[in-house]
Amino acid sequence: MGLTVYIPCFNVENYIESSIRGLLSQTRPPDEILVVDDGSTDRSLEIASRFPVRVIRHERNRGLAAARNTAFANASHELVGAIDADVFPEADWLERLLAHFDDERVAGTGGRLIEQFRDAPADMWRFLHLCQDMGEKRIDIEWPSDRRLGGFGTILRKSAVADVGGYNESYRTNYEDVDLCERLLRAGHKLVFEPLAVAHHQRRDDVRSIVRADWRSEFYTHYYHGGYNNIWLKLFFNFRWARVLVWEHIRTGRPSLLAIDARLPWILSMMDLQYYFSPARLPHFEAAPNLSAIYLPRPFRHFVKGGPIPS
């Protein structure tokens, strides 16, 4: 079965060459490589054009889900792989992921993502708190499992993705992978996490970028838990969570991370307020009381209808 692999691309001039070279060096090379440039303003497009890839360009930035839909619309083959521009795959990555498609129920496969850099405090903080690796054991994912494949590196059946309506383009920067996986599972498909398919995350962060990444990665979790229904409780939650991290990093002997912990609630709260008072704010979402209880201090959670949430 033929294989297209695409790289969604937005201002990734520091990474994209490595990602393309990793695909070209696979033991089972892709039959087609697409680079979907989502309105980059740096040298990403120029660098990608040096390689035997097909570049598809958005004239303006439309978001990650839109880039993925463009890739699927232009892919020449039934199996469509994706790898983020800041991810470098090991040589047998595609071969390991492809091995599961003999099972017609399998709509998608994904593998491990190992953080390449952990020396700087921000990179170690990302490794500890934003890690996307699901471990060393194979996982067959079927509904109602809460496991999902990370969009950083997958292969999906084009027909299955089309059947569930493609990616939801309202998810501009993240959560589009979680949402698609849930719809595939609800439709009766099976997903496979293959730990022998290993890729390496090449990203480097500083304090501000890692906190912004944390806000984006957790945004929809807070949205669907009702975190933005009472903004003051959400801000209070930011400081409570930072306190938990401070004690955890003291307990585990990681004092270099305390500077990030100290700035975390202030930057998160600033971003929360910018979102909350933005005209682009999403419609109100009424979460179940036992889910939104996480924003209350622990002694008050027992008064929530539906009982306390798990600790």
CATH architecture assigned to 3-201 = Alpha-Beta Complex (3.90)
Q: Which pLDDT belongs to residue 311?
A: 42
Please state the domain extents for the chain.
3-201, 207-301
Q: What predicted TM-score, i.e. pTM, was given to this entire model?
A: 0.92
Q: Which pLDDT belongs to residue 305?
A: 57
Closest CA to 10 of 88, 83, 71, 85: 85
149, β-bridge pairs = none
Q: Which pLDDT belongs to residue 288?
A: 87
Closest CA to 199 of 280, 134, 145, 290: 134
Q: Which pLDDT belongs to residue 290?
A: 84
Q: Which pLDDT belongs to residue 303?
A: 67
The upper half-sphere exposure of residue 30, i.e. CA atoms within 13 Å in the direction of its Cβ, equals 29
Q: Which pLDDT belongs to residue 12?
A: 96
- The pLDDT tens digits along the chain (311 residues) read 899 999 999 999 999 999 999 999 999 999 999 999 999 999 999 999 999 999 999 999 999 999 999 999 999 999 999 999 999 999 999 999 999 999 999 999 999 999 999 999 999 999 999 999 999 999 999 999 999 999 999 999 999 999 999 999 999 989 999 999 999 999 999 999 999 999 999 999 999 999 999 999 999 999 999 999 999 999 999 999 999 999 999 999 999 999 999 999 999 999 999 999 999 999 999 998 888 989 988 777 766 655 544 44
82, β-bridge pairs = 6, 154
Cα(99)–Cα(228) distance, rounded to whole angstroms?
43
- Sequence-distant (≥ 6) Cβ neighbours of residue 270 within 8 angstroms: none
